[in-house]
């Protein structure tokens, strides 16, 4: 189970990370199933590990 915020409902792809402004608007919790893990590169930044 993970806590979700308003911006979760407009999430489309990649590693989900809520914005600081969305912390003001928690929406509840959502059950998740882990189906894999890896790394995602966003721009020229360090890889973001996900599961």
Tokens coding 20: 């600081």
DSSP 1-51: -EEEEGGGGG--SS-----TGGGGSEEEEE-------EEE--TTSPPEEE-
22 within 8 A of 16, measured Cβ to Cβ: no
pLDDT tens per residue across span 29-49: 988 887 888 888 877 778 888
What does pTM read for this prediction?
0.52
Domain boundaries, the chain: 2-50
Mean pLDDT across the chain, nearest whole number?
Answer: 82
């Amino acid at each position: 189970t993970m806590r979700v915020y308003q911006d979760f409902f407009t999430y489309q792809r990649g590693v989900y990370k809520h914005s600081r402004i969305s912390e003001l608007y928690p929406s509840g919790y959502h059950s998740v199933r882990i189906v894999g893990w890896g790394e995602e590169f966003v721009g020229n930044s360090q890889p973001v590990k996900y599961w």
